[in-house]
Amino acid sequence: MSELYLFDTYERQVRQFQPLEAGKVGLYCCGPTVYNYAHIGNLRTYIFEDLLYRALKMNGYEVNFVMNITDVGHLTSDADSGEDKMEVGSKRTGMTAWQMADFYTQAFQKDLKRLNINFPDTWCRATDHIKEQIEFIEDLEKKGFTYQTSDGIYFDSRKLSSYGQLARLDIEGLMAGARVDNERQHVTDFALWKFSPADEQRQMEWPSPWGTGFPGWHIECSAMSAKYLGDYFDIHCGGEDHIPIHHTNEIAQTEASRGTRLANFWMHGYFLQLDNAKMSKSAVFLTLDRLIEKGIDPGVYRYFCLTAHYRTQMSFTWSSLEANGVALKRLYQAAYDWGAPGTLLDEYMARFNACINDDLNLPRALAVTWDLIRSNEEPSAKKATILAFDQIFGLDIANYQPQVVEIPADIQKLAEARAVARKEKNWPLSDELRDTALAAGYIIEDTREGWQIKKQ
Ligand code: AMP
Ligand code: ZN
């Protein structure tokens, strides 16, 4: 098998993947902020991470996969201003912040299941790890990286010379252009702990050495990844928006406290755009439920995501989704018609593995799949090979069953009457009966074996 190469945002290059410990991979993916349903843009990122997970397995690694649930501390602006998204969501939905966190966590997990996305080995909720986060902040304080303002404990980004390396931030330029609000000392400083407002009882708040409040958003990932994967692990993932703020700050905390850049590889999924604008939870967004309501199978959305490389932005349109639905149906039907699996086709397997190991090039892997479908290889060998490809695609090809369309009795009668009219060479009546069936959504076709009815 070819070697696995992955793009590392930190080094800004494709690098050969080598695990830190032989045969094992620690993988951490930033999970959802559970104040609303996941939109299909979010889900594109989780599909990318699932493809990575499957590729690591394909390469024989034992993967320890951790995902967090952000159920506190993510403010309406990523730059630590505004309200906590959970408190805002609670007002919107009428649920308590705690009920809402449970509700949207379950909705998120249901989406993952429907998209055939593997669950992590460990789910970790920010609110279950307040102690670990406080200890992390105490350590940063001891090492001199924090300062206190009237609204919280902040990380002093100027104390860390490597701050902003992941995003190649132009720190001097940012400093020059920025107006720093209240007591925050530098524009790139960020909250580690926020105090509860004096005039408001928050639903989610905890005592701490600095006062009652709640953790900042970034500290949860540094604290929980350290707990479950150690201070330096293999791969850390998220969406591209995490590069300049969230991941930059996670790295800063861990570098300051533990002296590591947290993960060996940093990987980012690029955005799904809707009408050329970023899809976000606070603006118009589409959910998986909405797609299903429109009669689109979740597998079609998964297939749609496979058609673009994870490091390119992708535009969502209903027409491209439909076209992908048609392609997927052809793929399913072809594989179904091949019958039982036989022996693998080595040449196709090698071509496929090379695409996957070339920084998860799924569009090229799909091209290999279509070559396989069009080829004159033995059907049973084609079947075995496409089922092996599906270990990565996750389209559940093995369980596809063609839909049996129930033909209503009156349409059946029309077809029978039309057959009689044709026998009697009554063409106008035959055409009229066919058109009546068509108006009801059924196509009557003539084949060598006689007539057949199809749903339009
Ligand atoms: P959130 O629930 O907002 O914390 O985001 C969950 C994940 O979705 C994060 O990894 C984000 O980077 C990612 N994300 C947010 N918006 C999009 C989008 N439009 N397309 C792809 N990924 C996104
Ligand atoms: Zn994170």
CB distance 32 to ligand 1 below 6 Å:
yes
Q: What are phi and psi of 144, to 5 degrees?
A: 85, 25
Question: Sheet holding 314-316: strands in order across?
Answer: 277-278, 272-274, 314-316
223 with 244, same domain?
A: yes
Q: Is 203 left (phi over 0), alpha (psi -120 to 50) or beta?
A: alpha
In sequence order, what are the beta bridge partners of 444?
453
From 226, 249, 269, the end of a domain falls on: 269
pLDDT digits (tens), the chain, 456 positions: 789 999 999 999 999 999 999 999 999 999 999 999 999 999 999 999 999 999 999 999 999 999 999 998 788 876 677 788 888 888 888 888 899 999 999 999 999 999 999 999 999 999 999 999 999 999 999 999 999 999 999 999 999 999 999 999 988 888 877 776 668 889 999 999 999 988 888 899 999 999 999 999 999 999 999 999 999 999 999 999 999 999 999 999 999 999 999 999 999 999 999 866 666 555 557 999 999 999 999 999 999 999 999 999 999 999 999 999 999 999 999 999 999 999 999 999 999 999 999 999 999 999 999 999 999 999 999 999 999 999 999 999 999 998 877 888 899 999 999 999 998 999 999 999 999 999 988 888 887 667 888 777
What is the residue with the minimal CA distance to atom 7 of ligand 1?
Answer: 42
Tally of domains within the chain: 3
In sequence order, what are the beta bridge partners of 122?
66
From 254, 269, 284, the end of a domain falls on: 269
CB distance 278 to ligand 1 below 6 Å:
yes
98 with 245, same domain?
A: yes
CB 199 within 8 Å of CB 166: no
Structure tokens at 365: 């892997």
Q: Are strands 442-447 and 450-455 parallel, antiparallel or unpaired?
A: antiparallel
260 with 279, same domain?
A: no
Q: Is 330 left (phi over 0), alpha (psi -120 to 50) or beta?
A: alpha
Q: How many CA atoms lie within 13 A of 308 on its CB side?
A: 22
Give the residue numbers spanning the domain of 372: 274-399
pLDDT at 166: 97
Structure tokens at 17: 């993947």
158 with 255, same domain?
A: yes
pLDDT at 181: 67
75 with 168, same domain?
A: yes
CA dihedral 85, 224, 66, 238 (to 10 degrees): 50
The answer to the question of residue 127 being in a domain is yes
43 with 161, same domain?
A: yes
311 with 417, same domain?
A: no
393 with 287, same domain?
A: yes
pLDDT at 268: 98
The answer to the question of residue 404 being in a domain is no
Closest atom, ligand 1, to C-alpha of 240 = 12
CATH code (residue 283): 1.10.730.10
From 269, 294, 309, the end of a domain falls on: 269
**Residue 185, SS3?**
coil
pLDDT at 281: 55
Q: What are phi and psi of 425, to 5 degrees?
A: 55, 30
The answer to the question of residue 315 being in a domain is yes
37 with 97, same domain?
A: yes
- Ligand 1 center–CA 239 separation, angstroms: 5
245 with 324, same domain?
A: no
What is the residue with the minimal CA distance to atom 9 of ligand 1?
Answer: 239
The answer to the question of residue 346 being in a domain is yes
CB distance 41 to ligand 1 below 6 Å:
yes
Q: What is the pTM of this model?
A: 0.89
In whole angstroms, give the CA distance from residue 281 to residue 268: 19
CB 215 within 8 Å of CB 249: no
237 with 327, same domain?
A: no
- Ligand 1 center–CA 417 separation, angstroms: 57
395 with 413, same domain?
A: no
CB 178 within 8 Å of CB 185: no
